[in-house]
Amino acid sequence: MDMAVQKAFTEEASAIPAPSKKVKVVARDVNVFYSEKQALKDVSVDIPEHAVMAFIGPSGCGKSTFLRCINRMNDTIPTCRVTGTIEIDGADIYDPKLDVVQLRARVGMVFQKPNPFPKSVYENVAYGPRIHGLARSKAELDDIVASSLKRAGLFDEVKDRLLDSGTGLSGGQQQRLCIARAIAVEPEIILMDEPCSALDPIATAKIEELMEELAETYTIVIVTHSMQQAARVSQRTAFFHLGELVEEGPTEAIFNAPKDKRTQDYITGRFG
Amino acid sequence: MAGLYFLALAALVAAGFFVGRSRALAVAGDDYVGLHSLPAYHGLFVACGILAPMLVVYAVGAPLVAKLAEANASAAFPPDIQSDALTRGSALRDAINLSVGQYSGQASETLKEAAEAYGRTISTGSWSVLGLGLLSALMAAGCCAALISKPFRARNHVERFVTVVLLICAAVAVLTTVGIVLSVATETYRFFFDPHLRGKPGVFDFLFGTEWNPQEALRADQGDIRAAFGFIPLLTGTLLITFIAICVAGPLGLFSAIYLSEYATHRFRAFAKPILEVLAGIPTVVLGFFAALTVAPHIRGWGEYFGLNVASESALAAGLVMGMMVIPFISSLSDDVINAVPQSLRDGAYALGSTRSETIKRVVLPAALPGIVSAFMLAISRAIGETMIVVMAAGLAANLTFNPLEAVTTITVQIKTILVGDQEFDSAKTLAAFALGFVLFFVTLLLNIIALQVVRRYR
Amino acid sequence: MDLTSGAAQARVRRRYRAEARFRAYGLVALAVAGVFLVALIADIVRKGLPAFTQHALVLDVAVPADLVDQQVRTDPVAIRGADYFPVMRDALKAAIPNIESRSAEKTLTRLLSAGAANRLASMIVADPTLIGRTVKVPLLLSANADLYFKGTGVGTPITERSGRGIATPSGTSGEITILVSSNDFAENLVAIKRGLGERASLLTAEANRLQRFGSASLADRIKELHEEAAALRARVEQPKVEEALDSNVPSLLVAINGGLVKITKLGDMGITGEVLLPLGSRADAQPGDWKIVTYETAESNRKATDQEVAFLERFKTLGAVEASFNTLFFVGGDSREPELAGIRGALTGSALTLLVTLVLCLPIGVLAAIYLEEFAPRNRLTDLIEVNINNLAAVPSIVFGLLGLAMFLNFFGLPRSAPLVGGLVLGLLVLPTIIIAARAALKAVPPSIKEAALGVGASHQQAVLHHILPLAVPGIMTGAIIGMAHALGETAPLLMIGMVAFIVDVPKTLTEAATVLPVQIYLWSDLPEPAFQYKTAAAIMVLLMFLFAMNGIAIWLRKKFERRW
């Protein structure tokens, strides 16, 4: 690709108007170290509210690590150290005075492998509201469980077996149960760490559909291996490579007119 | 009194929980979701706030009161009793027994006086401890309850409290070790260096003496009985029995482990492993019974048949049965280390056309050698520290011999013999048992530390 | 490489033989362990089984009207305190009448246990109207008499044959002679002499065998053997001479006119003997009406004397001997009398001790494990705690006994021999086991569960308490049961803190003196009475039963809740 074409793409990309929405998460110069090894280098990114943002990149590029910084799940790894700032609605989430538990209530998470608690479907969804004191009575809790399951598109499938074990559901159902569990605590942001990697295409389609619906109320950040998925569900995409944020922008721009050579190589399938 | 205190404690803690919880609900009003922590955490916060000071008050107060009461009681005794530690101790015990109504003899006036002083101090002391405890609890409860508000992070405070409790529990294991070291070390120090102790040996005499006879002349006409604390015969006896045990258990355990890990089919393993596990689970007192009443007479019988004079408490009988006890230790640890040898090493040997046994002998065992050595070390440590088998099947006489058909005695047998039954705590004989315990503890500790360090690398 | 040459093939064959040998070593090693285990358990079961039954004499006992005073007829204390000895003696003498010799009477009463009247007393307590009536009641036999009926080497095989001539006894009791019209005893005399001859050759053979070893220390013994053999041969040389029977040859007896006479001097046609069971009359006994009885084991080689055997056999013929399950073994406390000794005290002591152990080490162990597995920062202190726990698990148990003695008894002044102290010591002893097992169980819960909980905003402690710990419970329980089994079988540290006292009463509190099952086994195994050896083995069976049951439950738990994630 010669310079002229490159330039044209760039201009075209910048011509696409950025989403006019408010920025929810602002990350500046985020570095993550595991012991001595640096996993993320100076990552700065803005995540818009009420939209789906996708992080793509080859394995081990740091996209999951960055995702886990947003709800401070990295705190559970003793050797992990994070520098830089991440703000949600203007408040630094690494402020020592901040209660990490409350942060995680605001920032829900869905994991790569469905990980329902080995308890009933009902208990799975009710657990969050219960520990956060979101319901004063059993009836309120029932309502929260039912509406969460409905929003996760699972209610009709499990309404007769709410008391059966959550681990007895199919993979796709389990993952939607995990989504229901995450939204039951009314988070503002939902982080999804390759939520469909363990699922078949039909289950994947359902989850993707669900993401689109959820984006109306929540800010969604998804890490994915699949560029097609990123293209299908996200409004903005960020490309990570070797711990660096290489490029970030509207999804169409990233896919149609990547500015960076590495991005281009990746999306055209030269590596990854 | 302790019962009353802890009853009050339980009641206050429960009350504190409910007060905290309802207060949290009250401050929340309609904005239930606005509370930082669940109401139950506010309740627990107040409960912890009550529990901690009350426990501290008791832990400090109760021994203090006891010490004070003893001091007051002994103040009532005449000076000649007070000056002698031994008589003061027994007089004090009498006074305490009289005070709690368990004294059986005719009490003298002085004793009654002392008992009364003791009882008085205990009673006032206990009530003050209770009062102090209640006061601290109420103050703490007040402070805690005052802190409760919507943004108050009760959960975080409770969790910090819980973490401290968890840490204390983990520290119990360390405290146990400290307790062991303290108890054997102080008594051992007294054994060697206490100036008031009669008949104590020098460190050199102890370590290199060849005669062991802890009996002491109790009466003047027993002048010919002289206590001797030479450690060598016990050491040789212990080593002899341990050696026999390892000679039995070493090959048996190692070959069992090799067969189980390298040859056995899954089904055979499922059948053979429990045999070793059951063997490991049999109490040593049972093995001791078997050694003393079945194995030893048989060995004696065979020995007689060959014209050998076998002692009825021969080292051989004890060693053989101890070897059986040790087999599972060697086999299970060796099994682990052999399994930890990477398959790639074996594959390399097979690829050169080695048979299985050649692979095992040339590749697997050398690779697993440090682990196997540490398995042996742990087994030796077990055998040295084993008590019941030798108590029941080995002898008491400290013979300095390496003949497995003779009776020998071991460190553990001597500790048990000296300390079981009536003993005065300040005699050289009793303290000698602690010196033996000291040696036993540190020898096994050394073996264990080295062995465990190696094993840890394998796991 | 040539693999077809003869040398190469031989080499391969040799290598395969080495392979087979090596493999066989492994099997042999496992077989030795297996054989040892089987021998151990078989030996214990063989010794222990007899202790589970108990024999009693069921006799008609006339309870005298004046057994207790009229006023206290229904008072249990008075009834139990009454003197039952004469009552039982009379019942025995009624069953075997006309015994005149004092020593025989003493032997007879000693067949009964010191606690023989307990059952009768209980019956009277339950129904005081029995006083003044005759009751059929089982009277407990003494340990030796009990063993006699169990066929455990106390007694002797018995053979008998009918007499051919007419036998004339000279009296009915005391020392009597019996003259016989035929030479009925000739063959016994021959047999006796032959027996003497055989014994003489045995002694000579043994002397010659020892001679071969040529050890100087054996010279005296060899000389002794030769002399003994010569003396025996001298007796064999004179075939017709009357032979006095001693306790080294099988006992010969004559059963005649309902009585039993032990032969002390044996002639061809007549004997002199001592009456063991009184004869009914001095009348002549016709051929076939009297018998020659042989107790095959020489009296000196068995526990039961001829007199005792005679009595016990008579009770057997009377149908008075009753065998029943030995409930006393399970409901009684320890006793100096083997037949009365039971394990209830030790079992209760074990239960109380284990209760303390469990209460101490389960919570502490689990909480410590949670701390180390979940919350401990990775630093040197944590490392130290970890190394320390692993080492503590390998410290000899007797050292924990020293800790208990120095710390709990001497420093803190806790009571000696008490289950409380025993439980504390065992608690510290099994604490490392429980911590290690609990950590393994916590570690086995997949991290995804913890992440899920943290992801919905649970705090670390909430994630552990609500999710990880409940999932680890089966593993922790398994570890706890195995730890408790370990504690149940532990003996040495309890000896140190004085739990070896002889305690008859069943303990009721944590601070009174008690003993535990393994210590009871140790104490009994030290006692000389053979009956206690059987009791020891029986107690071991009970202990092993508990241990197997506990381990079985642990394995079952593990299997049932084993989860693959």
Q: What's the average model confidence in pLDDT over A225-232?
A: 87
Q: Give the CB-side neighbour count of residue C286, counting CA atoms within 13 A.
A: 0
Q: What's the average model confidence in pLDDT over B181-210?
A: 81
Q: Where does residue C245 fall: left (phi above 0), alpha (psi -120 to 50 degrees), or beta otherwise? A: beta
Separation CA B412–CA B416 (nearest Å):
6
Separation CA C17–CA C8 (nearest Å):
14
DSSP designation for A105: H
Does B437 contact C402 at a Cβ distance shorter than 8 Å? yes
pLDDT in the model for residue A10:
44
Separation CA C510–CA C500 (nearest Å):
16
Hey, which residues 188-227 in chain C have their CB within 8 Å of chain B? 209-210, 212-213, 215, 217-218
Rg (CA), chain C: 34
pLDDT in the model for residue B192:
85
Q: What's the average model confidence in pLDDT over A28-56?
A: 90
- Residue B208, Cβ neighbours under 10 Å: how many? 11
Separation CA C253–CA A207 (nearest Å):
101
Does A111 contact C455 at a Cβ distance shorter than 8 Å? yes
- Say yes or no: C399 contacts chain B, CB-CB below 8 A: yes
pLDDT in the model for residue A98:
85
pLDDT in the model for residue C480:
93
Q: What's the average model confidence in pLDDT over B346-350?
A: 89
Give the CA diameter of chain B: 97
More reliable by pLDDT, B230 or A181 = A181
**Does residue A18 register a pLDDT over 90?**
no
Beta bridge partners of C250: C298
Rg (CA), chain A: 19
pLDDT in the model for residue B459:
60
pLDDT in the model for residue C223:
84
pLDDT in the model for residue C1:
63
**Does residue A11 register a pLDDT over 50?**
no
CA distance A24 to chain C (A): 19
Query: Which DSSP helix (H) or strand (E) runs through B89?
Result: helix B85-99
**Does residue B217 register a pLDDT over 70?**
no
Coil, helix or strand for A237? strand
pLDDT in the model for residue A4:
43
More reliable by pLDDT, A239 or A13 = A239
Q: Where does residue C275 fall: left (phi above 0), alpha (psi -120 to 50 degrees), or beta otherwise? A: beta
Q: Please, what is the average pLDDT of chain A?
A: 85
**C257: nearest Cα among C157, C163, C155:** C163
CB of C309 closer than 8 Å to CB of C156: yes
**Does residue A262 register a pLDDT over 70?**
yes
Coil, helix or strand for C77? helix
pLDDT in the model for residue A20:
53
Q: Please, what is the average pLDDT of chain B?
A: 85
pLDDT in the model for residue A227:
86
Separation CA C422–CA C349 (nearest Å):
10
Residue C134 has phi, psi (to 5 degrees) of: -100, 125
* Band of residue A14 on the pLDDT scale cut at 50, 70, 90: very low
Residue C159 has phi, psi (to 5 degrees) of: -125, 155
Does B170 contact C461 at a Cβ distance shorter than 8 Å? no
pLDDT in the model for residue C259:
87
**Does residue B319 register a pLDDT over 90?**
yes
* Band of residue B441 on the pLDDT scale cut at 50, 70, 90: very high
Sheet with C53-62, side-by-side order of all strands: C134-140, C53-62, C321-325
CA distance A36 to chain C (A): 16
Q: Give the CB-side neighbour count of residue B82, counting CA atoms within 13 A.
A: 12
Q: What's the average model confidence in pLDDT over A26-51?
A: 89
- Which of A117, A183, A193 is the best residue to mutate to test the C interface, defined by the most C CB atoms within 10 Å of its own CB? A117
Q: Which residues have C-beta within 8 Å of that of residue A26, sequence separation ≥ 6? A: A46, A47, A85, A86, A87, A90
Beta bridge partners of A41: A244
Separation CA B217–CA C95 (nearest Å):
57
Q: What's the average model confidence in pLDDT over A246-261?
A: 88
More reliable by pLDDT, B161 or B29 = B161
Beta bridge partners of A240: A245
pLDDT, tens only, A80-116: 888 899 999 888 888 888 888 888 888 999 998 899 9
The pTM (predicted TM-score) of the whole model is: 0.86
Separation CA C148–CA C156 (nearest Å):
9
More reliable by pLDDT, A9 or C557 = C557
Q: Which residues have C-beta within 8 Å of that of residue A243, sequence separation ≥ 6? A: A38, A39, A40, A41, A61, A62
Q: Where does residue C274 fall: left (phi above 0), alpha (psi -120 to 50 degrees), or beta otherwise? A: beta
Q: What's the average model confidence in pLDDT over A117-121?
A: 91
**B324: nearest Cα among B293, B289, B280:** B280
Does C518 contact B283 at a Cβ distance shorter than 8 Å? yes
Query: Which chain C residue shows the shortest CA-CA distance from A177?
Result: C452
- Say yes or no: A134 contacts chain B, CB-CB below 8 A: yes
* Band of residue A3 on the pLDDT scale cut at 50, 70, 90: very low
Q: What does the pLDDT profile of chain C (565 residues) look like in tens digits?
A: 677 788 888 888 888 898 999 999 999 999 999 999 999 999 999 989 988 998 999 988 888 888 888 777 778 888 888 888 888 888 888 888 888 888 888 888 888 888 888 888 888 888 888 888 888 888 888 888 888 888 777 778 888 888 888 888 888 888 888 888 887 788 788 888 888 888 888 888 888 887 777 667 777 888 888 888 888 888 777 766 677 787 878 888 888 888 888 888 887 778 888 888 888 888 888 888 888 888 888 888 888 888 888 898 889 888 888 888 988 889 888 888 888 888 999 999 999 999 999 999 999 999 999 999 999 888 888 888 888 898 898 899 999 999 998 888 888 878 888 899 999 999 999 999 999 999 999 999 999 999 999 988 888 999 999 999 999 998 999 999 999 999 999 999 999 888 888 888 888 888 888 899 999 999 999 888 888 999 999 999 999 999 999 998 988 888 888 765 5
Identify residues of A whose CB sits under 8 angstroms from chain C CBs: 71, 73, 76, 78-79, 101-105, 108-111, 113, 115-118, 127-128, 131-132, 178, 181-182, 184-185
By CB neighbour count within 10 A (0-12 exposed, 13-18 middle, 19+ buried), where does C484 fall? buried
pLDDT, tens only, B34-69: 778 888 888 999 999 899 999 999 989 888 888 888
Unique residue bearing structure tokens 């990149």: A57
**C188: nearest Cα among C261, C243, C247:** C243
Q: What's the average model confidence in pLDDT over A50-72?
A: 89
Of chain B, the end-to-end C-alpha distance in Å amounts to 51
- Which of C448, C454, C456, C460 is the best residue to mutate to test the A interface, defined by the most A CB atoms within 10 Å of its own CB? C456
* Band of residue B247 on the pLDDT scale cut at 50, 70, 90: very high
pLDDT in the model for residue A15:
42
- Say yes or no: B215 contacts chain A, CB-CB below 8 A: no
By CB neighbour count within 10 A (0-12 exposed, 13-18 middle, 19+ buried), where does B263 fall? middle
DSSP designation for C87: H
Does B32 contact A131 at a Cβ distance shorter than 8 Å? no
The beta-strand segments (E) located in B313-361 are none
Q: For Cα atoms C122, C125, C131, give the angle at the middle one, nearest 5 degrees.
A: 105
The long-range contacts involving B212-218, CB below 8 angstroms and separated by at least 24 positions, are: B212/B398, B212/B409, B212/B414, B213/B398, B214/B414, B214/B418, B214/B428, B214/B429, B214/B432, B215/B429, B216/B427, B216/B428, B216/B429
Nearest to A133 among B38, B153, B156 (CB): B38
User: Helical H runs in C49-171?
Assistant: 76-81, 85-95, 102-110, 118-126, 143-149
Residue C72 has phi, psi (to 5 degrees) of: -110, 30
Give the CA diameter of chain A: 66
Separation CA A180–CA C189 (nearest Å):
103
By CB neighbour count within 10 A (0-12 exposed, 13-18 middle, 19+ buried), where does C295 fall? buried
Query: Which chain A residue shows the shortest CA-CA distance from C447?
Result: A115
User: Helical H runs in C321-418?
Assistant: 328-331, 344-370, 380-392, 397-403
Strands A236-241, A52-56: parallel, antiparallel or unpaired by DSSP? parallel
pLDDT in the model for residue A13:
43
- Residue C8, Cβ neighbours under 10 Å: how many? 12
pLDDT, tens only, B103-161: 777 777 788 888 888 888 888 988 999 999 999 999 988 888 888 888 888 888 899 99
pLDDT, tens only, B360-415: 988 899 988 988 999 999 999 999 999 999 999 888 878 888 888 888 899 999 99
Separation CA B78–CA B64 (nearest Å):
24
The DSSP annotation for C234-278 comes to HHHH-SSS-EE--TTSEEEEEEETTEEEEEEEE-SSEEEEEEEE-
Hey, which residues 236-275 in chain B have their CB within 8 Å of chain A? none
**Does residue A1 register a pLDDT over 50?**
no
Chains that touch A (3 or more CB pairs under 8 A): B, C
pLDDT in the model for residue A17:
46
**C360: nearest Cα among C483, C246, C537:** C483
pLDDT in the model for residue B221:
54
